[in-house]
Amino acid sequence: MAAPDTENDEQLVLRTRRGDRVAFESLVARHQNSVYAQMLGRTADPERSQELTQEAFITAYTTINNLEKPGSFKSWVIGIGLNLARRRKREVADIDLLEGAKDRRRTGMVELEHVERIEAVREAVADLPENYRTALMMHYFDGARGKAIGDAIGCSEGAVHMILLRARKALAQKLKAFAPGDEI
């Protein structure tokens, strides 16, 4: 039997399905940073991102037999995490921006403007279509490229470049409406 670090994801998934916990531990070690980066990009909360990452891997372990393409474990577990984040967002109301602004009064208007700008970017990203949002998050926060992004959103590698281009344009348009004449 090959060492877990020399096996590809498909081999590790197949071993996990046969009850090999070490194989799953190898999958976690291999992909936990990528999943965490996606969750952090989505939530901007390190503690919540860690919880979502753990929950994504627990869900992946308990539903590993549902994975149709064992070689696409990484994009599958990221998708699980993104679904959990969406569900959690619906369940728990976001902290009100004004409440956050009260806590930041000591740092003055510059900090408040920074907070408003960050919130505008978050809202603009959240308003993008799901495939645009996922492609941007994977590209900028995970460092993923064409094929990995395409696998996650269900399109060809060539289509990813167009999706990223359109996503950037849509995001720029949304942010332009937030601060006309301002460079964000």
**Helices (runs of H) and strands (runs of E) counted in the chain:** 9, 0
Rounded to an integer, what distance in angstroms lies between the CA atom of residue 51 and that of residue 21? 21
Rounded mean pLDDT of 9-32?
A: 95
pLDDT at 44: 84
The pLDDT tens digits of the residues spanning 96-146 come to 444 554 555 545 555 656 667 777 777 888 888 888 888 888 887 777 888
User: Mind listing the domains of the chain with CATH numbers?
Assistant: 1-93 (1.10.1740.10), 94-184 (1.10.10.10)
pLDDT at 12: 96
DSSP 3-state of 111 = helix
pLDDT tier at 93, thresholds 50, 70, 90: very low
pLDDT higher than 50, residue 184: no
Rounded mean pLDDT of 75-95?
A: 77
Q: Which residue has the higher pLDDT, 168 or 3?
A: 168
Average pLDDT score, the chain: 81
pLDDT at 59: 92
Q: Which residue has the higher pLDDT, 174 or 179?
A: 174
Q: How many other CB atoms are found less than 10 A from the CB of residue 34?
A: 21
